[in-house]
Structures are given as C-alpha cells and as structure tokens.
Amino acid sequence: NRLARELHDSVGHALSAVTLQAGAARRVLDRDPEFVRQALTAIEETTRRTVGELDAVLGLLRQDTDGSDGLAGPGLDALGGLLARCGVPVRYTADGDPGAVPGPVSAEAYRIVQEGLSNALRHGVPGAPVRLRLGVGPRELTIVLDS
C-alpha cells in the first residue's frame, strides 16, 4: 500500500534520525554542550518537518477528491535539506542536473534516498560517512548509496 510506504519512509526515517541524535546528545551531555545544542536543534527541525509530512499524508486519507494518490511529496530539489539533517555525514555528487528529473520520478528518487539513509543510520557503522551519487541521463536516473 502506497500510504503505508509513504509513512514508513518519512516517519520511520525521521524517528531513526531523532533516536540517534538524542542518544548521541545524551552520551556527551556533560562534555560537549555545543554538540547537544546542535543535536536538539536537529531533533526540533526533524520533528517539525515530520509532523508536517504526517499531516499531509493523513489529509490524503481524509479527502482524495481528484482520484490521484497525491503523494508526490518532496523531490530531488529538497535533497540538500534531507542530507543536512539525516544524522550521518554524506558525501554527495551529482552527474547531470537533478532538477531535470520529472516530478513523479524526482519524488520517488527522494524517497529512495531517504530510505537508504535510514538504513545507513540503522545498520551502518556509527559516524561513518555515506556516499551518495546521482547520475542523471536523458532517459534514466541512477542512485548509488553506499557506506
């Protein structure tokens, strides 16, 4: 079900990031107050954004008047914000123009990257950088995410 995937991708990723940020802040609470401030800011921004996404998805459940699933969501143009608040260091490169990717494909690509980052948070080496490369061609989009 598309709504279940949407909720899993957006809310699940956000909760993983918040959990890791909170745990890291707790471990250095007495030693690094600046890190704790940054972690709390990231938690605040992530939860605020996620509540907005959750409201949007729940709004779709309340009214779907045009027959579309309406779940385009953020696209590759919002990738910078996702990478900044995802909770892991990311080395990002793009071959081609991500802005040239059509809207529905761009939204799906964003969700794929979001899910990959969520998996890196859950299963990767803590603090290890993640590499993300987008390859944009005339008829294809390649996403490579590894750690």
Q: Quick: pLDDT tens for 10-59.
A: 788 888 889 989 999 999 999 999 999 999 999 988 888 888 777 766 76
Which residue, among 48, 16, 2, 20, has the nearest Cα to 118 in the 3D structure? 16
0.95 exceeded by pTM: no
pLDDT of residue 61: 64
Is the distance from CB of 131 to CB of 145 less than 8 angstroms?
yes
**Confidence band (pLDDT; 50, 70, 90) for 104?**
confident
Q: Where residue 139 sits, what CATH number does that domain have? A: 3.30.565
**Confidence band (pLDDT; 50, 70, 90) for 60?**
low
Q: How many distinct structural domains can be found in the chain?
A: 1
What range does the domain containing 37 cover? 2-63+71-146
Of residues 86 and 143, which shows the higher confidence score?
143
